[in-house]
């Protein structure tokens, strides 16, 4: 993405605050004018006061200077506040758009990206843009206007000397261009390393129990230290460029000023212009180098902003792989059957499912078993369209799932997985997560059906108890029963149980299994099972091997005729 395209996209975020930007620019113009005026007055201070001893001019200047700097201060405050407001609003809008877009992206995006990289976009990269708008853009506009004002004064005082002074400008521009190119490259590396550090932090903190269990603290410390050192090295490369830019430009400026002071001084001695005009010119000329130096810092911010913006807009331009058809229609409530027709699915270059034909009648319980890696979870993930099959069709009551509104499909499906996801919120809000309008009575009824009500009311704050990060203040069985209550409250037509009890001990499993039995009543259920109790209750057991269905039948039938099922039963279920 070229710079023009990036700035065009950024402008779309600035545009809603165009009126405030105009007021901010007006304030910056005021700062530039009053800065120029203070240099212009210097001419009269020297010529009319120090040389001509004019007391009336002394009074006029004594009154004017405080007013000039008061007005300059008001304008400076105005531009600072307004640009900070614009910067914060742009950050808010960008973060909202990023988060909203992340919610729309398909699961495969998150499986291919590190969590740290995703978080870095919405925190670090957006923060860089905020800094650019609220400070970098201010510097570019304000300093640019100040330079224009001072140069105009210089031409007014002595056009020939002003022309000589501007001869040095190409050297400054050349230096800025070289440093800008280096800074953009280093900034991209720096932001990538920030994402690496975020990833390590998330992985280590979320997996702290495993880290401690395997005594891997030193290894994780070494890994983090290595990445942190790499980040430091890249940052220092950036700092070297940033630190070198201002003094180098200052040296170029002072070199030009020295030549000018010598030559200009000779002109004053010869009487070609007054001392006041000369010192006013010198003051204006030297004053231009301060904003020019600020330009070098602004250039650093600009290059970092370009790199950050490119990464952000790359995310915003990413299309979900699972999309709703433009002419999608609402899916009626399931009444008859779900049909998998010649389903195939490939993940990258790996074929995961092949030629799957399966018909499930409404109300049936379907158990899906098979060796690890046979495609069980992938098959059930096609049902809510977390992925789309690369071949074949899935139909509900004759409706191709690719042609229905996603929400109307997913609202009919409840999912309970081995890894229970709970949010840092109250027990009540976790249960009603998929049904936010549910009444108190409905929430309690769902909790009772999931065998969760008893342990909930035993907690100090009952349904208002806050669940800590990842449900750490609950047992595995309690977390699973809350997930069951959430699914029961949603009242789905279709239920997907992905090894929902495989991580529980026998006592917890028995309690959860009772809740499962309640949950599966009169629902079409797909079970990926590791336990015999759930398999025996299935109306059909589907045997998968290497992405293909090798047999379908009931428990005893398969034991008698399917060697693979018998082997799986003996290994997994008999125990």
Q: pLDDT tens for residues 36-73?
A: 888 777 777 777 776 777 777 777 777 888 888 899 89
Give the H/E segment covering residue 373.
none
pLDDT reported for residue 173: 61
The whole-number pLDDT of residue 254 equals 66
Predicted pLDDT at 355: 92
Tracing tokens 């959430």 back to the chain, one arrives at 486
Percentage, residues of the chain above pLDDT 70: 81
pLDDT at 341: 94
| 197 pLDDT higher than 70 | yes
Strands 524-528 and 494-498: parallel
29-38, 272-281, 503-512: range with lowest mean pLDDT: 503-512
Instruction: Give me the pLDDT at residue 357, please.
Output: 94
Give the model's pLDDT for residue 293: 64
- In terms of pLDDT, which residue wins out, 312 or 136? 312
Q: Given a cut of 60, is residue 405 above it in pLDDT?
A: yes
The DSSP line for 390-402 is SEEEEEETTEEGG
Q: Residue 218 — very low, low, confident or very high, per pLDDT cuts 50/70/90?
A: confident
| Residue 246 confidence (pLDDT) | 64
Q: Is the pLDDT of residue 343 over 90?
A: yes
User: Out of 197-201, 215-219, 501-505, 513-517, which region has the weakest mean confidence (pLDDT)?
Assistant: 501-505
Among 207-216, 317-326, 435-444, the range scoring the smallest mean pLDDT is 207-216
According to the model, what pLDDT value does residue 348 have?
75
For residue 550, what is the enclosing H or E element?
strand 548-553
Over range 427-449, report the average pLDDT.
88
- pLDDT for 362: 92
Mean pLDDT over all residues of the chain? 81
Give the CATH superfamily of 422-490. Answer: P-loop containing nucleotide triphosphate hydrolases (3.40.50.300)
| Strand residues in 191-347 grouped as ranges (E) | 337-347
Domain 3-197+238-316 belongs to what architecture?
Answer: Up-down Bundle (1.20)
pLDDT at 184 over 70: no
Identify which has the larger pLDDT, 100 or 131. Answer: 100
Helix count and strand count (H, E) for the chain: 22, 10
Q: Is the pLDDT of residue 573 over 60?
A: no
SS3 content of the chain, % helix, strand, coil (to 5): 70, 10, 20
The Cα 43–Cα 45 span in angstroms is 6
Q: Assign residue 148 a region: left if phi > 0, alpha if psi is -120 to 50, beta otherwise?
A: alpha
Indicate whether 194 pLDDT > 90. Answer: no
Angstrom CA distances, 88 to 14, 17, 127, 276, stand at: 11, 11, 9, 45
* Alpha carbons 154 and 277: distance in angstroms, whole number: 9
What are the two backbone dihedrals, phi and then psi, of residue 344, each rounded to the nearest 5 degrees?
-130, 150
Task: Examine domains 3-197+238-316 and 422-490 and report if their fold is the same.
Answer: no
Q: Which of 340, 452, 448 lies closest to 395 in space, CA to CA?
A: 340
How buried is 185 (Cβ within 10 angstroms: 0-12 exposed, 13-18 middle, 19+ buried)? middle
Sorted by where each begins, the domain ranges of the chain are 3-197+238-316, 422-490
Q: HSE (CB half, 13 Å, CA atoms) of 391?
A: 13
State mean pLDDT over 441-465.
88
Residue 524, CA atoms < 13 Å, CB-side half-sphere: 18
Both tokens assigned to 98: 């990023």
Segment 359-374 shows an average pLDDT of 89
Using the predicted structure, report yes or no on whether residue 87 has a pLDDT greater than 90: no
359: phi then psi, degrees, rounded to nearest 5: -120, 125
What is the DSSP code (8-state) at residue 333?
Answer: P
pLDDT at res. 172 = 61
Q: Which of 29-38, 47-56, 537-546 is least confident?
A: 47-56
Q: 558-568: per-residue pLDDT in tens?
A: 888 988 888 88
- Give the pLDDT mean for 357-376: 90
How many CB atoms are closer than 10 A to CB 509?
Answer: 21
Q: What is the CA radius of gyration of the chain?
A: 35
Residue 135 contacts residue 304 (beta carbons within 8 Å): no
Q: What mean pLDDT is predicted for residues 218-240?
A: 80
Report the percentage of the chain scoring pLDDT > 90. 17
Q: Provide the pLDDT for residue 508.
A: 59
Q: What is the mean pLDDT of residues 150-168?
A: 75
Q: Is the predicted pLDDT of residue 536 greater than 80, yes or no? A: no
Q: What is the pLDDT of residues 458-502, one digit of tens each?
A: 988 899 998 877 677 788 788 888 888 888 888 889 988 887 665
Which of the four pLDDT bands, split at 50, 70 and 90, describes residue 354?
very high
Per-residue pLDDT tens digits for 233-290: 877 777 776 677 667 666 766 666 676 677 777 777 777 777 777 777 777 777 776 6
């Amino acid at each position: 993405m070229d710079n023009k395209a990036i700035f065009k996209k950024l402008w779309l975020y600035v545009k809603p605050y165009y009126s405030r930007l105009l007021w901010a620019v007006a304030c910056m113009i005021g700062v530039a004018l009053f800065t120029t005026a203070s240099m212009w007055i210097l001419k009269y201070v020297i010529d009319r006061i120090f040389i001509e001893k004019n007391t009336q001019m002394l009074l006029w200047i004594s009154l004017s200077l405080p007013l000039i700097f008061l007005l300059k201060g008001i304008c400076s405050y105005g531009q600072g506040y307004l640009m900070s407001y614009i910067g914060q609003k742009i950050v808010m809008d960008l973060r909202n758009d990023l988060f909203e877009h992340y919610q729309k992206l398909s699961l495969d995006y998150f499986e291919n990206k590190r969590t740290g990289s995703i978080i870095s976009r919405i925190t670090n990269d957006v923060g860089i843009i905020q800094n650019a708008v609220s400070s970098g853009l201010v510097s570019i506009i304000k300093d640019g206007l100040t330079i224009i004002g001072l140069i105009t004064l210089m031409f007014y005082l002595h056009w020939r000397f002003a022309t000589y002074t501007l001869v040095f400008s190409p050297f400054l521009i050349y230096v800025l261009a070289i440093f800008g190119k280096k800074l953009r490259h280093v900034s991209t590396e720096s932001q990538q390393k920030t994402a690496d550090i975020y990833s390590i932090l998330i992985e280590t903190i979320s997996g702290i129990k495993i880290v401690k269990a395997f005594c891997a603290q030193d290894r994780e410390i070494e890994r983090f230290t290595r990445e942190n050192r790499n980040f430091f090295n890249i940052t220092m490369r950036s700092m070297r460029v940033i630190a070198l830019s201002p003094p180098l430009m200052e040296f170029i400026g002072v070199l030009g000023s020295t030549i000018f002071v010598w030559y200009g001084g000779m002109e004053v001695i010869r009487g070609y212009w007054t001392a006041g005009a000369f010192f006013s010119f010198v003051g204006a000329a030297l004053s231009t180098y301060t904003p020019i130096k600020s330009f070098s810092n602004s250039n650093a911010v600009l290059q970092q902003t370009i790199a950050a913006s490119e990464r952000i807009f790359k995310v915003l331009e990413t299309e979900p792989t699972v999309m709703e058809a433009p002419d999608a229609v609402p899916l009626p409530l399931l009444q008859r059957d779900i049909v998998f027709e010649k389903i195939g699915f490939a993940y990258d270059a790996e074929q995961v499912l092949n030629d799957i034909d399966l018909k499930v009648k409404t109300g049936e319980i379907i158990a899906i078993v098979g060796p690890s890696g046979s495609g069980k979870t992938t098959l059930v993930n096609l049902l809510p369209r977390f992925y789309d099959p690369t071949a074949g069709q899935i139909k509900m009551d004759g409706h191709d799932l690719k042609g229905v509104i996603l929400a109307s499909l997913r609202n009919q499906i409840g999912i309970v997985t081995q890894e229970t996801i709970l949010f840092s919120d109250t027990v009540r809000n976790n249960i009603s997560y998929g049904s936010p309008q549910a009444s108190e009575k409905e929430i309690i009824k769902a909790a009772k059906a999931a065998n969760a009500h008893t342990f909930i009311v035993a907690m100090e704050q009952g349904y208002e108890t806050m669940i800590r990060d990842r449900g750490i203040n609950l047992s595995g069985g309690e977390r699973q029963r809350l997930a069951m209550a959430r699914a029961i409250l949603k009242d789905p037509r279709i239920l997907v149980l992905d090894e929902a009890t495989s991580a529980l001990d026998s006592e917890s499993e028995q309690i959860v299994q009772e809740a499962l039995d309640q949950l599966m009543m009169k629902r079409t259920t797909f079970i990926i099972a590791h336990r015999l109790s759930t398999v025996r209750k299935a109306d059909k057991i589907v045997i998968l091997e290497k992405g293909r269905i090798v047999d379908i039948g009931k428990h005893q039938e398969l034991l008698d005729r399917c060697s693979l099922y018998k082997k799986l039963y003996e290994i997994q279920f008999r125990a």
